[in-house]
Amino acid sequence: GAWQYTIPSDASPESVDWDAFIMGAEKGNFDATKFFRWRNYREFGTGVAGDLFVHLLSSIHVILDSNGPNKIFSSGQLSYWKDGRNVPDVLAAIMEYPETSNHPEFQLTLRVNFASGKGPTNFVRLIGDEGVMEVAGDSVTINHSIMSEAPGIGGWDSLDTFTESMQKELIDEYNNKYSEEQKKRPLKNPIKYVAEDQDKHKDHFINFFEGVRNGTPVIEGPEFGFRACAPCLLCNDSYFDQKIMNWDPIAMKLT
């Protein structure tokens, strides 16, 4: 949804601890909308990037064993939910990840749209040079798109604008250089894995409780969490300050 949370009819300074809520923010009179719909306000929440992008970064960092990006830029607007909120309801971000021993350099693009008529969607799509891996919910799907060894000729290039004799010369040269096998695109069947029916939220909480009770290591510990969260918060800074944010994912600080 778009954070239009229901406000209880008994909302008042007596029913909530308003002073504790605004601690660290500018003092102001009780505002039930800001209290119960706090995600809509920069002074209390982290916007769509902090609330939604962070889950995608967590997944990507687990999959790739990554420490995070070193450059972040975002752009957006408040296009639909003009209800007094001061954070955008449409936001796109580009994050650049440097090469590490665990993965090559790559660019991550993220987008959230609270005004979309399509409805909610949530997935991670990893695009490589041989296909696409999509992680959505409890499933992982791989669709292959492998290029042929031969680069191809004709089609959308300028070959058909050449003279017939030149076209024949170039095609003959191409056919002599590449075999029919080299011209074919390798085909692979799609792969889809669906996790066994289980309660992923329960597993998540069990892992967390075991960490608290027994000191059992967790994958998403404090440093992992900060490395996923900080770039998302920098999306907000990039949006409001209208500039690229440079980040050191190892030292976990701005550069």
pLDDT (tens digit, 9 = 90+) per residue, 217-240? 898 899 999 999 999 999 999 999
Range of the domain at 179: 148-184
Question: If you average pLDDT over residues 67-91, what whole number do you get?
Answer: 96
Whether residues 33 and 61 fall in one domain = no
User: Distance (Å, rounded) from C-alpha 186 to C-alpha 191?
Assistant: 15
pLDDT (tens digit, 9 = 90+) per residue, 114-140? 988 777 778 899 999 999 999 988 899
- The answer to whether position 180 is within a domain reads yes
Give bridge partners of residue 97 from the DSSP assignment.
106
Whether residues 56 and 85 fall in one domain = yes
Whether residues 169 and 222 fall in one domain = no
pTM, whole model, 2 decimals? Answer: 0.88
Whether residues 53 and 65 fall in one domain = yes
**Torsional sign, CA 228, 201, 2, 121:** positive
Whether residues 69 and 126 fall in one domain = yes
Whether residues 92 and 218 fall in one domain = yes
Whether residues 136 and 219 fall in one domain = yes
- The answer to whether position 60 is within a domain reads yes
Whether residues 132 and 152 fall in one domain = no
The whole-chain average pLDDT of the chain stands at 94
Question: If you average pLDDT over residues 137-145, what whole number do you get?
Answer: 93
- The answer to whether position 189 is within a domain reads no
Using CA atoms, how far residue 209 sits from 47, 76, 213, 215, 218, in Å, is 28, 38, 6, 9, 10
**Torsional sign, CA 217, 219, 223, 225:** negative
Backbone φ and ψ for 144, nearest 5 degrees, come out as -90, 145
Burial of 234 (0-12, 13-18, 19+ CB in 10 A): buried
Domain count, the chain: 3
- Compare 77 and 121 and report the one with higher pLDDT: 77
Whether residues 178 and 62 fall in one domain = no
Q: What's the confidence (pLDDT) of residue 25?
A: 86
Using CA atoms, how far residue 59 sits from 46, 158, 166, 247, in Å, is 19, 43, 52, 20
